[in-house]
């Protein structure tokens, strides 16, 4: 009785709150200017001339200065900071890294001077702002010489002598998984950094994740898996921005705070590059929701095949040709290519079309200065452990480009800096903003607000004004931001700025956000939904629970991979509503909505491991006469039976994790017994024909309740492959009698027949260890996308000299077990409790992790050298041509 009274009162209070509010949902949309920013009227991307006719590229530094450049950053005045990383992604020895500063003092195109700015191990991300240089890098223990952690730090150069003034000032410590860092290197660790016009530093976290990262305020945070984390430039307010990515290397941020990445999948296993647009608080699902629970994630915009995404940049500079402006630019190390992704607005999300742009040998990073000069770093074959003789940096400018001196920001007045916020390029606006924020806050806020209100300015300038004002004014700027939110064109940005920093929102009212959930503009709706989660007021749950989940939020059929890389803008609003409900911990309101909006309510309850949620679900089940709803409630209870175990940072799921989901390392919790008892009770009461339904729930959610049974699924039977490798490698044909140099040269001349190559793939024993199709049982290194990862010379070398080209994820392991046995092979599957190892003949062995005594990555490949000795040049060329076609 009391519960009913409270619920009725809550609903009445909510209705009164909305009814009395001066904020009403807008019925008009004004986003034409925003749409045209990405898709200019009259521009046809199909008529873009070749980039070589529009751009000039110059090499400005080679391996004598910048060997193995992993990242770079540029000051607006043109000085280039290059992260030299002689460790590479798999090296583990300290003392091989530095940041080199390149200077063209007279701007004649020749970088005549340089300095070693600082010695720092394994730099993976750099950003230069004024006299600050932010660096993300590995820290080694001085006593043991082992990798200890990864830190985001700040170096200062106040005297501008090109050398850091002193030791690093840590902003975030331990933003990594130290165990994985020590055992593997940084290949799936934390990487690129970039600051948005909102003043946050965005950090690309690989799927090592991190355990107890600590910001400067002492706040600690743990994240299982990859995603984007952000922090203020003073090292405070650390928070997760988005989660569920695989191995991202960098972020691109546009002037309207849309964030983009191109994933990194250069280690096989069948996972491809994905281009993703991020919405704050979004869950992207890797690896536990990525295949079988795609109804719960925001999908990527494109699956791009094999490759290895690295640095990224969003181009916003009117001095560049329109064909290359207002687009995310994404580097791909594996494909030696800088790509353009043309994005088109689609409700609260985007669609995209990718295009080849600039070819550069194993490109690692890209950045722009204040005069429009682009700089790119090329790894150029420096391998997985760095190379002192490889790597360079280039400068790229449009052919009609003219140098424009960048203004002296230090001597500029507040008014001058305000004028620079009106610039037609994002670099000038950003650096002017950062200097403006060092001035008296009231003066800076006044100048920024004037720009935000100026309707004659382009939208990107007004948005820069909004975010500059929000940072300068903080809580005192709420009233003016609320006024700005009344304008259709900029409501989205004003609402985002109001809740952007939790330290500034104590007096922000929820009424404008509640109204905006029903705005005519879906982008405004998205900002309002996220904002309500950040405001933390549970009364907002009532409005969030009015949002309907679309029909496309559909569970994939058993055994079929869901659409995780097909744009689905209609799922974004309901997805964000679920994330905000979870952040609010709005258990009571969500349970109450099971009858009124069951699809969204049950979706949100899947993540609410709270006894009240379990009790509410059982009560809803017992009260309902709708069998479809009752089945959905049983499904939700089954999902809640287990939860993800707390992550301690001591393990990683490898390059080929168990992707079944919904949890990776599942454990029972306090309500598990009640859920089990209820499910068994309903099973006993159910018609025998219903047994498969309960067994399906048991399988799907991995409850491992024996009494529920299991659905018998067709097992893929692998044909046994017996290969006599000694007989193959001891035959001496044309290849076996030639030097590797002669063979590689010949492979450039001899075309080869891929049909013959496919037959040789079997006869030479390749099939024993390598799969080439996703449907096949995974064995050793997956060859289904090798043509996207390696060029012809690299494939040739990997066959002739297996030890010289062991790619990430293709390494073999020696495992000793507690019962005195040893196994050697490729790890082809790994869960929290066991792994599958396949030996050189392709035979699998499943080993319980609790039985593993030691696990050592082998320095040499287990693939025998000489397997191609018996082949002719034409035969080897046919095999290589066949492999090149696997993309």
pLDDT per residue as tens digits for the range 799-857: 887 765 555 556 788 999 999 999 988 787 788 888 888 887 678 899 999 999 998 87
Phi/psi for 422 (5° steps) reads -90, 5
Cβ–Cβ under 8 Å, residues 601 and 594: yes
pTM assigned to the model: 0.88
Tens of pLDDT, residues 755-776: 998 888 888 777 777 777 766 6
- If we measure between CA atoms, which residue out of 229, 179, 239 comes closest to residue 204? 229
DSSP string across 649-674: SS----SSB----S-SSEEE-TTHHH
- If we measure between CA atoms, which residue out of 477, 402, 467 comes closest to residue 437? 467
How would you label 155-183 residue by residue, b for 16+ Cβ within 10 Å and e otherwise?
bebeeeebebeeebebbbbbbbbbbbbbe
CA 821 vs. chain centroid, Å, equals: 39
Cβ-based neighbours of 677, under 8 Å, separated by 6 or more:
none
Cβ–Cβ under 8 Å, residues 563 and 299: yes
Cα gap 151→139, rounded to integer Å: 7
Cα gap 429→462, rounded to integer Å: 11
- If we measure between CA atoms, which residue out of 520, 519, 447 comes closest to residue 480? 447
Reduce the DSSP state of residue 541 to 3 states and report it: helix
The per-residue pLDDT for 837 is 85
pLDDT averaged over 10-residue windows placed end to end, the chain, 887 residues: 38 49 92 97 85 89 98 98 91 91 95 97 97 97 92 97 97 94 87 97 97 98 98 98 96 98 73 92 95 97 91 97 96 93 98 96 97 97 88 96 96 98 98 98 98 98 98 98 98 98 96 98 98 96 97 92 95 98 98 97 98 98 96 98 96 88 97 98 95 96 96 53 50 72 74 88 78 67 76 79 59 88 85 84 86 83 76 88 86
DSSP string across 27-84: -----HHHHHHHS-TT--GGGPPPGGGTEEEEEEE-TTTSSSEEEEEE-TTS-EEEEE
The per-residue pLDDT for 779 is 63
Reduce the DSSP state of residue 115 to 3 states and report it: strand
Reduce the DSSP state of residue 818 to 3 states and report it: coil
Distances in Å between the alpha carbon of 133 and those of 82, 83, 97?
11, 12, 16
Cα gap 836→834, rounded to integer Å: 7
The per-residue pLDDT for 804 is 56
Cα gap 854→875, rounded to integer Å: 41
The per-residue pLDDT for 717 is 46
Q: Where are the beta strands (DSSP E) in 388-428?
A: 392-398
- If we measure between CA atoms, which residue out of 423, 475, 424, 481 comes closest to residue 449? 481
Cα gap 366→298, rounded to integer Å: 27
Cβ-based neighbours of 691, under 8 Å, separated by 6 or more:
683, 709
CA 832 vs. chain centroid, Å, equals: 22
The per-residue pLDDT for 274 is 94
Cβ–Cβ under 8 Å, residues 150 and 139: yes
The per-residue pLDDT for 739 is 63
The per-residue pLDDT for 211 is 96
Cβ–Cβ under 8 Å, residues 273 and 265: yes
Phi/psi for 391 (5° steps) reads 115, 145
Cα gap 485→464, rounded to integer Å: 15
Give the ranges where 421-536 is alpha helix by DSSP (H). 426-436, 441-453, 459-473, 478-484, 491-498, 511-516, 522-535
**HSE of 804, CA atoms in CB hemisphere, 13 A:** 13
Cβ–Cβ under 8 Å, residues 128 and 73: yes
> CB 628: neighbour CB atoms within 10 A?
9
Reduce the DSSP state of residue 448 to 3 states and report it: helix
Cβ–Cβ under 8 Å, residues 874 and 842: no
The per-residue pLDDT for 727 is 53
- If we measure between CA atoms, which residue out of 697, 585, 562 comes closest to residue 640? 697
CA 143 vs. chain centroid, Å, equals: 34
Cα gap 608→549, rounded to integer Å: 18
């Amino acid at each position: 009785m009391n519960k009913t009274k409270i619920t009725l009162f809550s609903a009445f209070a909510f209705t009164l709150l909305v009814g009395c509010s001066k904020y009403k949902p807008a019925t008009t949309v004004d986003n034409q200017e925003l749409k045209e920013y990405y898709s200019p009227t009259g521009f046809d991307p199909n008529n873009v001339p070749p980039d070589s006719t529009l751009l000039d590229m110059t090499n400005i530094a080679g391996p004598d200065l910048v060997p193995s450049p992993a990242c770079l950053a540029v000051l607006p005045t043109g000085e280039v900071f290059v992260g030299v990383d002689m460790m590479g992604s798999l090296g583990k020895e300290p003392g091989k890294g530095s940041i080199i500063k390149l200077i063209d003092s007279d701007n004649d195109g020749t970088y005549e001077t340089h300095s070693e700015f600082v010695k720092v191990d394994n730099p993976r991300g750099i950003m230069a702002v004024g006299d600050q240089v932010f660096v993300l890098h590995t820290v080694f223990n001085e006593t043991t010489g082992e990798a200890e952690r990864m830190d985001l730090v700040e170096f200062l150069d106040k005297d501008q002598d090109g050398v850091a003034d002193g030791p690093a000032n840590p902003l975030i410590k331990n933003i990594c998984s130290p165990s994985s860092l020590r055992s593997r290197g940084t290949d799936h660790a934390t990487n690129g950094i970039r600051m948005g016009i909102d003043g946050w530093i965005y950090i690309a976290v690989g799927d090592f994740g991190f355990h107890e990262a600590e910001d400067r305020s002492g706040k600690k945070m743990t994240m299982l898996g990859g995603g984007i984390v952000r922090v203020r430039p003073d090292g405070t307010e650390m928070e997760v921005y988005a989660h569920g990515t695989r191995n991202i290397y960098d972020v691109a941020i546009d002037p309207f705070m849309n964030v983009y990445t191109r994933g990194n999948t250069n280690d096989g296993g069948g996972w491809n590059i994905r281009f993703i647009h991020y919405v704050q608080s979004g869950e992207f699902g890797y690896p536990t929701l990525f295949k079988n629970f795609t109804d719960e994630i925001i999908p990527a915009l494109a699956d791009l095949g094999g490759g290895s995404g690295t640095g990224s940049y969003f181009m916003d500079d009117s001095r560049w040709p329109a064909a290359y402006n207002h687009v995310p630019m994404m580097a791909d190390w594996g494909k030696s290519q800088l790509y353009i992704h043309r994005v088109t607005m689609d409700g609260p999300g985007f669609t995209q079309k990718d295009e080849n742009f600039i070819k550069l040998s194993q490109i690692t990073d890209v950045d722009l200065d204040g005069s429009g000069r682009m700089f790119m770093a090329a790894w150029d074959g420096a391998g997985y452990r760095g190379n002192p003789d490889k790597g360079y940096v280039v400068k790229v400018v449009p052919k009609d480009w003219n140098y424009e001196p960048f203004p002296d920001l230090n001597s500029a007045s507040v008014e001058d800096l305000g004028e620079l916020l009106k610039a037609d390029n994002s670099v000038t606006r950003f650096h002017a903003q950062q200097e403006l924020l060092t001035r008296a806050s009231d003066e800076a806020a006044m100048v920024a607000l004037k720009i935000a209100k100026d309707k004659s300015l382009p939208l990107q300038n007004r948005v820069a004004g909004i975010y500059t004002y929000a940072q300068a004014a903080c809580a005192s700027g709420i009233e003016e931001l609320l006024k700005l939110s009344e304008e259709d064109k900029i409501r989205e940005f004003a609402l985002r700025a109001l809740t952007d920093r939790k330290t500034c929102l104590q007096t922000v009212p929820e009424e404008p956000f509640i109204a905006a959930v029903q705005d005519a503009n879906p982008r405004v709706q998205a900002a309002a939904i996220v904002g309500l989660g950040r405001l933390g007021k549970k009364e907002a749950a009532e409005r969030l629970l009015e949002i309907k989940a679309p029909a496309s939020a559909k569970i994939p059929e058993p055994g079929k991979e869901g659409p995780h890389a097909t744009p689905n803008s209609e799922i974004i609003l309901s997805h964000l509503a679920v994330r905000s409900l979870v952040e609010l911990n709005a258990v009571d309101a969500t349970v109450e909505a099971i009858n009124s909006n069951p699809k969204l309510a049950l979706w949100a309850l899947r993540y609410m491991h709270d006894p009240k949620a379990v009790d509410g679900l059982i009560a809803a089940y017992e009260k309902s006469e709708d069998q479809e709803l009752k089945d959905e409630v049983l499904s939700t209870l089954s999902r809640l039976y287990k939860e993800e175990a707390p992550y301690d940072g001591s393990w990683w799921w490898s390059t080929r994790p168990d992707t079944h989901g919904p949890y990776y390392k599942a454990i029972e919790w306090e309500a598990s017994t009640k859920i089990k008892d209820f499910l068994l009770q309903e099973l006993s009461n159910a018609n025998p024909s219903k047994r498969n339904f309960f067994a399906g729930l048991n399988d799907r959610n991995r409850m491992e309740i024996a009494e529920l049974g299991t659905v018998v699924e067709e097992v893929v039977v692998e044909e046994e492959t017996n290969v006599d490798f000694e007989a193959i490698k001891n035959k001496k044909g044309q290849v076996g009698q030639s030097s590797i140099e002669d063979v590689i040269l010949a492979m450039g001349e001899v075309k080869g027949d891929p049909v013959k190559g496919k037959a040789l793939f079997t006869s030479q024993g390749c099939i024993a260890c390598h799969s080439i199709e996703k449907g096949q049982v995974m064995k050793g290194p997956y060859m289904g996308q090798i043509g996207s990862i390696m060029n012809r010379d690299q494939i040739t070398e990997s066959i002739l000299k297996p030890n010289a080209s062991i790619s990430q994820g293709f390494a073999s392991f020696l495992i000793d077990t507690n019962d005195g046995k040893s196994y050697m092979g490729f790890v082809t599957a790994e869960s929290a409790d066991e792994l599958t190892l396949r030996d050189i003949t392709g035979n699998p062995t499943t080993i319980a992790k609790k039985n593993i005594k030691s696990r050592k990555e082998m320095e040499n490949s287990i693939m025998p050298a000489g397997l191609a000795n018996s082949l002719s040049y034409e035969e080897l060329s046919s095999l290589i041509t066949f492999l090149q076609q696997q993309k």
